[in-house]
Amino acid sequence: MRRLLAAAACALVVLAAAGGDDARAQEPPRALVTGDSLMYVMQHPLARRLRHRGYDVTIDSRVGTGLTKPWLTDWVKAAREQSAQVRPDVTFVFIGGNDVHSIGGQRCCGPLWVQAYAARAREMMAAYGRTVWLTLPAPIDPRLGRVFRAINRALRYAALDGRGRLLDIAPVFTPGGRYRRSMPWKGEQVIVRQLDGVHLGHQGVKIAADLATATLE
């Protein structure tokens, strides 16, 4: 009798696990949209496009934060917490507008700083799983442009092992690393940057959201 009860219990465990897998398979895929204010301005247009494709979308943008500002948000820790809570099938990340600070005593933007930034980004990609990470288009301020170029180098290093996919929007908006507030797009000249020279404007957000969503195809 004990053997029969044990066998029945094992069978129930197997069936419960299988039922859980079936239930998860029937759920819509999950997308996490996250980052700093760069993502904040485009989170809703991107979320609408993802929902139109059948995704269950979670938005978690944290304005004013950055990978070099762990006293506000430790993004490596946050990525693990987000992943555990949301269990995303794909995560979209757009961050770096505030990342001008030192990492481990290394000031931006030398090789050691780039390596340290890449290490943090790589840990985040590992936590998220499938990741689409947007690069930073050149800003109007050339001093900040130096920082953005260093961040983009770091992101390329971070994505080398295939844990994350880099969506390189920088050449789309700022070819040759040259800032421009407007650009030709589908036969029209459209304004794509806000007056601060950092964030994407209304039309720029739409373009970036289209490019991000196209990575799912």
Across the beta sheet with 90-94, what order do the strands follow?
A: 56-61, 30-35, 90-94, 131-134, 164-167
Q: Would you say 118 and 96 are in contact if contact means Cβ atoms under 8 Å apart?
A: no
The tens place of each residue's pLDDT in the chain, 217 residues long, gives: 444 334 434 433 333 344 445 555 689 999 999 999 999 999 999 999 999 999 999 999 999 999 999 999 999 999 999 999 999 999 999 999 999 999 999 999 999 999 999 999 999 999 999 999 999 999 999 999 999 999 999 999 999 987 789 999 999 999 999 999 999 999 999 999 999 999 999 999 999 999 999 999 8
Give the whole-angstrom CA distance, residue 73 versus residue 61.
11
**What residues does each domain of the chain span?**
28-214
In this structure, whether the domain defined by 28-214 belongs to CATH 2.40.10.10 is answered with: no
Full-prediction pTM beyond 0.85? Answer: yes
Give the number of other CB atoms < 10 A from CB of residue 107: 11
* Region of residue 81 (phi > 0: left; psi between -120 and 50: alpha; otherwise: beta): alpha
Joined together, the tokens standing for residue 204 give 């720029």
Q: Would you say 211 and 169 are in contact if contact means Cβ atoms under 8 Å apart?
A: yes
Phi and psi at residue 16, to the nearest 5°: -65, -40
Give the whole-angstrom CA distance, residue 24 versus residue 111.
43
Phi and psi at residue 42, to the nearest 5°: -120, 5
